[in-house]
């Protein structure tokens, strides 16, 4: 098979499996809940993962990436979720091509579910090459809500694990003044994760900047 034919065949198998797993009632409920502009098929997440595992076979990294590009181009919410889950698999290296896929699709994000699903692969890319954080830093001034939010959500490993959180805390200071509900939630989420390993640092942050936060920053979303 030619490379494009291999990708086309994988896409056809995957789409057939996903459509079979979807449900109208779930699709309608998800679309209302997500306030999504896209079409919904109502495929449960476990079903997506099974379909990915069974239908993709041993696609090379480049073919998997091309498949994800094709899936993302479709105006279907479930397929954007599937694209993120494919790239988050351990067999996918978080290289420059994958990082480019993530950054080029930030403008498409219009809700927390697709954004958070993409966060898994984005975080792997940032851990692989922390130099990419220079690009992320610019996101905090982006007029697009979900790009600003991604600056914190994609860098959650720096809150959860033994990495220096100071750079992201500086971003949180700036974003604390952002009145958008989802930004306040993201700041609270980041601080809460950091408090699990460094509660003193979080208390210091709240002492210095807590008055900028709204009450909603105390919950995850």
Residues 119-177 have pLDDT tens digits of 999 999 999 999 999 999 999 999 999 999 999 999 999 999 889 999 999 999 999 99
The CA distance from 16 to 12, in Å, is 6
Give Cβ neighbours of residue 7 (< 8 Å, ≥ 6 apart).
Answer: 59, 63, 66, 67, 70
C-alpha atoms less than 13 angstroms from C-alpha of 114 in its C-beta half-sphere: 29
Task: Tell me what percent of the residues of the chain surpass a pLDDT of 70.
Answer: 96
Query: What is the distance of C-alpha 160 from the center of its chain?
Result: 16
Contact predicate 112/182, CB 8 Å: yes
Give per-residue pLDDT as tens, 63-78. 999 999 999 999 999 9
Give per-residue pLDDT as tens, 18-77. 999 999 999 999 999 999 999 999 999 999 999 999 988 889 999 999 999 999 999 999
| Tokens at 111, concatenated | 């809700």
Over residues 183-205, the mean pLDDT reads 96
Contact predicate 48/15, CB 8 Å: no
Query: What is the distance of C-alpha 75 from the center of its chain?
Result: 17
Task: Give the predicted TM-score (pTM) of the model.
Answer: 0.92
Q: Which stretches of 57-180 are DSSP H helices? A: 61-73, 77-87, 96-104, 112-128, 133-139, 145-153, 157-160, 166-175
- Confidence bin at 218 (pLDDT 50/70/90): low
Dihedral of CA atoms 75, 80, 82, 83 in degrees, nearest 10, equals: 110
Give per-residue pLDDT as tens, 72-126. 999 999 999 999 999 999 999 999 999 999 999 999 999 999 999 999 999 999 9
Which residue, among 166, 70, 153, 170, has the nearest Cα to 106 in the 3D structure? 153
Which residue, among 101, 97, 162, has the nearest Cα to 127 in the 3D structure? 162
pLDDT over 70 at 220, yes or no = no
* CB neighbour class for 151 (10 Å; exposed up to 12, middle 13-18, buried from 19): buried
Q: Give the model's pLDDT for residue 3.
A: 53
Q: Give the model's pLDDT for residue 202.
A: 96
On average, the pLDDT of the chain sits at 93
- Confidence bin at 221 (pLDDT 50/70/90): very low
């Amino acid at each position: 098979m030619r490379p494009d034919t291999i990708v086309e065949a994988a896409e056809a198998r995957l789409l057939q499996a996903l459509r079979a797993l979807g449900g109208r009632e779930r699709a309608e409920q998800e679309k209302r809940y997500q306030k999504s502009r896209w079409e919904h098929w109502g495929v449960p997440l476990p079903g997506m993962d099974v379909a990915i595992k069974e239908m993709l076979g041993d696609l090379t990294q480049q073919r998997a990436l091309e498949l994800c590009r094709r899936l993302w181009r479709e105006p279907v919410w479930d397929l954007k979720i599937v694209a993120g889950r494919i790239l988050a698999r351990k067999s996918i290296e978080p290289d420059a091509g994958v990082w480019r896929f993530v950054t080029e699709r930030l403008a498409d994000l219009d809700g927390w579910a697709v954004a958070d699903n993409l966060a898994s692969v984005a975080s792997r890319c940032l851990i692989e090459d922390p130099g990419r954080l220079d690009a992320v830093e610019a996101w905090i001034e982006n007029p697009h809500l979900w790009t600003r939010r991604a600056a914190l959500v994609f860098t959650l490993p720096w809150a959860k694990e033994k990495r220096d959180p100071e750079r992201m805390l500086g971003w949180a200071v700036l974003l604390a003044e952002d009145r958008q509900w989802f930004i306040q939630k993201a700041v609270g989420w980041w601080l809460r994760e950091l408090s699990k390993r460094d509660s003193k640092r979080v208390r210091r942050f709240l002492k210095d900047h807590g008055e900028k936060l709204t009450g909603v920053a105390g919950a995850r979303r």
